[in-house]
Structure 1
Amino acid sequence: MEQLESFERLCLNQATTQRWNLREAVEGCVRAGIPWIGLWRNKIAEIGLKGSRQLVRDAGLRVSSMIAGGYFPTVSAAERQKRLDENRRAIEEAAELEAEVLVLVGGGIPDRDIDCARKCVAEGIEQLVPYAKSYGVKLGIEPLHPMYAAERSVVVTLAQANDLAKSYRPDEVGVVVDVFHVWWDPDLYHQIALAGERILGFHVSDWVVPFSHFLLGRGMMGDGVIELRRIRKALDAAGYQGPIEVEIFNQAIWDQPGDEVLAVIKERYLEHL
């Protein structure tokens, strides 16, 4: 089966090397020859926006995306406005860092009304689109695994994300495919094909059996059951040729030296993607 032969699409999501600050992550990518980096807002805040931009630019790295916006559902109109304002700040930061995509996590259920929460997500995206467009930033809706529906996102399938995105132009709103969240879905490959040019990001890790931890249970590629190369080839066929972003939440991996983690990532990327 066809496999990747170079690292030109390989991207380090900062979550994978959690102990590294932005400077350390940037320098690690340069040493490892990884050309892309996915940025987290909390890591940017540690150094500051201008300093973060300079670090990335000086290193010659490209920014795949910035994480995260969204979290729209709330119990009050005042809190909802605060979150919209925070999303607008995130859009401004993404533009400053030359990240084409702001990843949106829908948000959980504040008051036991899942239908209302999903309506809030749709309304929040609608309100953000003109602002994001004015900054040249695309909004990437990332569906999360259903086990996160209560706390993190009521958008739990790629079909839902596609439905939310289809009201907008592909250069305004699209979807982010994270294998950890969608690998199980019997409709996955159909939905990837439907998404087509709306695919704005591709995140990889693995689902390790037995599953160990709600938040920190992601495995290194090849350590679990996900058909990584099959999913990658489906995205290729749908037209996605962007970065392949390694995003792993795992304490054991975080505790390892970052350079060693990047070396393993490169090996597994070629072997399994």
Structure 2
Amino acid sequence: MEQLNTFNRLSLNQITTDRLSLPEAVEACVRADIPWIALWRHKLAQTGLIEAKRLIRDSGLQVSSICRGGMFPAATAEERRQRMDDNRRAVEEAAELGADILVLVCGPAPDKDIAAARLMVEEGIAELVPYAESHGITLGIEPLHPMYAAERSVINLLSQANEIAERYRPNQVGVVVDVFHVWWDPALYEQIARAAGRIVGYHVSDWIVPTPDLLMGRGMMGDGVIDLRRIRKAVEAAGYNGPIEVEIFNKAIWELDGDESLALMKHRYLEHA
């Protein structure tokens, strides 16, 4: 498999350096010559949108995505309305910061009816599309591993994400391929090919064996069992040549010094991604 030899596509997903504030993460990217950053909304809230916009502009960084929108299912109509209001704010934030992609973590069921929750996701996306399009934002549906179905998302297969995305134009709704969530799927390469022209994000990490924690157990590239290069080549064959976000939930990595973490990330990116 072809090896990456430059960092021009490398993006720091902010969660990988969760201990850093947005200003600290921006400064660390600049020092490390990492050209892209993916922003999380809780970090934006800490800094403030106006200041965040100034930081990004002055740094010269490009924003690969904003995380997250979604969380559509809710127990009551009022809760669903509030979540749609928050999604519209997320769209506005993405547009202000110059991002093209709002990542959707679609949300769990509020009760035992997972089918009804999936319908709420479809209805929520349909409602959000016109507003996102009016702001120049593409919605990226990120399927999450089935182990997250009860807590974070009822969209668990790339095939589910594709089925929803195919109802819209590619500039309206696409899919995000996160290797941690999809590497195990027997239909992975078939579904990546199906998503040709609709892949709007690609996230890398690794699956550690034994898995230390369902949420906080992602590994740095090369520390696990995922065939990262094969997946990257499949994503590229499907037309995606955009930023590659390193997104890692792992307390041991979070405890590293920011510069040390980014240096390790860069090394592993070239070596394994």
TM-score of the alignment, normalized to the shorter chain, above 0.5 = yes
1:1-273 to 2 correspondence within 5 Å? 1-273=1-273
Q: Percent identity?
A: 67
Alpha-carbon distance in 2 for matches of 1:2, 1:137? 31
Instruction: Report the AA paired with residue 7 of structure 1.
Output: F
After TM superposition, give the deviation of residue 111 of structure 1 in Å. 1.2
Q: Deviations over 1:40-90 (max 9, x none)?
A: 000011110010011011000000000000000011001000000000000
Alpha-carbon distance in 2 for matches of 1:249, 1:265? 13
SS of the equivalent of 1:184 reads coil
Alpha-carbon distance in 2 for matches of 1:236, 1:80? 36
SS of the equivalent of 1:115 reads helix
Alpha-carbon distance in 1 for matches of 2:255, 2:188? 33
Alpha-carbon distance in 1 for matches of 2:49, 2:74? 28
Instruction: Report the AA paired with residue 74 of structure 1.
Output: A
Alpha-carbon distance in 2 for matches of 1:175, 1:2? 24
Alpha-carbon distance in 2 for matches of 1:113, 1:228? 35
After TM superposition, give the deviation of residue 109 of structure 1 in Å. 1.2
Alpha-carbon distance in 1 for matches of 2:154, 2:205? 22
SS of the equivalent of 1:196 reads coil
SS of the equivalent of 1:216 reads coil
Q: Deviations over 1:229-270 (max 9, x none)?
A: 000000111110000000000000001101001001111111
After TM superposition, give the deviation of residue 220 of structure 1 in Å. 0.3
CA RMSD across the alignment: 0.5
Q: How many pairs were matched up? A: 273
Instruction: Report the AA paired with residue 135 of structure 1.
Output: H
Instruction: Report the AA paired with residue 79 of structure 1.
Output: E
The TM-score, its normalising length taken from structure 2, stands at: 0.99
SS of the equivalent of 1:197 reads coil
After the TM superposition, list the runs of 4 or more consecutive aligned residues in structure 1 that deviate by more than 2 angstroms. none
Q: Deviations over 1:164-206 (max 9, x none)?
A: 1000000000000000000000100111111011100000000
Alpha-carbon distance in 2 for matches of 1:35, 1:197? 24
Alpha-carbon distance in 1 for matches of 2:136, 2:170? 12
Instruction: Report the AA paired with residue 209 of structure 1.
Output: V
Instruction: Report the AA paired with residue 103 of structure 1.
Output: V
Alpha-carbon distance in 2 for matches of 1:57, 1:196? 32
Alpha-carbon distance in 1 for matches of 2:245, 2:224? 17
Instruction: Report the AA paired with residue 188 of structure 2.
Output: L
Alpha-carbon distance in 2 for matches of 1:2, 1:88? 40
Alpha-carbon distance in 2 for matches of 1:151, 1:116? 15
Alpha-carbon distance in 1 for matches of 2:86, 2:239? 32
Structure 1 unmatched ranges of 5 or more: none
SS of the equivalent of 2:104 reads strand
